[in-house]
Structure 1
């Protein structure tokens, strides 16, 4: 069953006189009903005034079809049931309706002595955990993991290579590094915004449309708590190692972010230089270039 057909059939069954005006349906719902009408003959489309209506001919066929496609549609679900399991029961697909996972698992590791604290006195020796098992994980979402914070800087990196090997980090200050894997989850941004999590937050993404758009989202929520990190010699590396293919693939995100970035770039002249260079050269730069000599 298409996503449009189930709500259209449900509205038709619940409608007065078992008919509904075509103008009350979306174009995708009308197409779905037309296909269902041809396949089953259980509904008809008739002219009505200046428009048309869909009318039920065989209610039992529609009800049976809905039951087969959504076996638990009229069943009260246990509140403890995961949302995606309930979606399968209602629509045979975990991805119908609200399907985002309630918890997000945040991977983090330490360079040097780093401790994370939890409200109530609990603490995590991140340096020790990193040494013993490679990384730590926080489960965040709802009331889970809300109290964690550290007194040092927090670095956010987009790609795994930067998380695996930390020798690119500037200076020698102890720090936490988080790998967010491409896209910043909204739940992670909200978690960062709920309370101060670190002394400062540095974002180091790919220098492309997606990276800039993610930075804008984060900056709008965290303000001066977060800064955009530019690798040494980024101008030369963009020119020498930059990719026009990556630029084109993320150009839509770049142009979508640009209006929101304008007021930020008024006070961040170096970020402004990066944006101008990317746009004028039609190039984007992946963050692994941090290890290359310009």
Structure 2
């Protein structure tokens, strides 16, 4: 007979002493009544105006065969391990808390991350280790502080730009830089939407996917506290160093057409129109590394 974890714990409780019927959920009572009628595991005994379940002759032996499967430190297991212990599928399931690991660098002193009453000096970690790493989930309570207010965050995709920060002072001012893997995941956008930073500056590739990801980020943040890093020299950079092969690549070009249409229809995105118009006119895209070509 196959049983699940809840049923196992009910039977184990009954094995340790009688359990009143009123203490059991309706769906469990129906199952327990069936066991009383069809097996020697349980007995249903009247007691005054009510009744209770008590162990039968075969219950202890039956439970001994289940101990290895169910007597685990269940709450300490990962979701996949819990599913396995419960006889469920372990594939194609997202982890319960959607854990992410973020790499950050600080560009100014005394920037702190605060979580569950613990305070971490990210500036000291960056100076000591070159980078600071934190484990996050979409709805956690991480907060970031610099001189009493939330810092400015710069999002970049390219690893080299994350390693060598000399270019930043030429184009913008920020407090923290964070590298992301090209596509902004749903959990990561949810995490960013919790008003953890004073402002988010997004610096994607100047191509269809980069524009698409920026629009998705704006949508996740309801258009508040996020801006696109458009280099002052973008016209010269795209004209001289832009790449047609990237712009015309199937998925990239499809993403560009959709993003450009959204930008044309939304007046709050008017600042991006010079970029999309030039990209369409020249048929070129520019990867982030183009910033390294600035004098």
Q: Where on the TM-score scale, by shorter chain, does this alignment land: which range? A: 0.5 to 0.7
The total of aligned residue pairs comes to 215
What is aligned with 2:180?
Answer: 180
Q: 1:237, 1:173 → 2: CA distance?
A: 21
CA-based RMSD of the aligned residues comes to 2.9
What SS class does the counterpart of residue 187 from structure 1 fall into? helix
What is aligned with 2:288?
Answer: 287
Asked whether the equivalents of residues 232 and 290 of structure 1 are also in contact (C-alpha less than 8 Å), the reply is no
Structure 1 position 125 matched with structure 2 position 138: no
What SS class does the counterpart of residue 168 from structure 2 fall into? coil
Unmatched segments (≥5 aa) in structure 1:
1-74
What is aligned with 2:130?
Answer: 134
The C-alpha deviation readout for 1:112-171, integer Å capped at 9, x for no partner, is 214134256532222211111111112111654x23223221100011111101111136
What SS class does the counterpart of residue 109 from structure 1 fall into? strand
Asked whether the equivalents of residues 152 and 175 of structure 1 are also in contact (C-alpha less than 8 Å), the reply is yes
What SS class does the counterpart of residue 170 from structure 1 fall into? helix
Which protein shows a greater Rg? 2
Q: Structure 1 residues 186 and 258 mapped into 2: Cα distance closer, same or farther (>3 Å)?
A: same
What SS class does the counterpart of residue 271 from structure 1 fall into? helix
Asked whether the equivalents of residues 144 and 151 of structure 2 are also in contact (C-alpha less than 8 Å), the reply is no
Asked whether the equivalents of residues 153 and 175 of structure 2 are also in contact (C-alpha less than 8 Å), the reply is yes
Q: Structure 1 residues 119 and 233 mapped into 2: Cα distance closer, same or farther (>3 Å)?
A: same
One of 93, 104, 108 as aligned partner of 2:104:
108
Q: 2:282, 2:107 → 1: CA distance?
A: 35
What is aligned with 2:22?
Answer: none
Asked whether the equivalents of residues 98 and 137 of structure 2 are also in contact (C-alpha less than 8 Å), the reply is yes
Q: 2:279, 2:254 → 1: CA distance?
A: 14
Q: 2:136, 2:81 → 1: CA distance?
A: 20
Q: 1:86, 1:208 → 2: CA distance?
A: 42
What is aligned with 1:224?
Answer: 224
Q: 2:96, 2:115 → 1: CA distance?
A: 27
Asked whether the equivalents of residues 114 and 174 of structure 1 are also in contact (C-alpha less than 8 Å), the reply is no
Q: Structure 1 residues 100 and 170 mapped into 2: Cα distance closer, same or farther (>3 Å)?
A: farther
The C-alpha deviation readout for 1:39-95, integer Å capped at 9, x for no partner, is xxxxxxxxxxxxxxxxxxxxxxxxxxxxxxxxxxxx99956543455778756xx65
What is aligned with 2:258?
Answer: 256
Unmatched segments (≥5 aa) in structure 2:
1-68
TM-score normalized by structure 2? 0.64
TM-score normalized by structure 1? 0.64
What SS class does the counterpart of residue 118 from structure 1 fall into? strand
Structure 1 position 149 matched with structure 2 position 144: yes
Q: 1:114, 1:211 → 2: CA distance?
A: 32
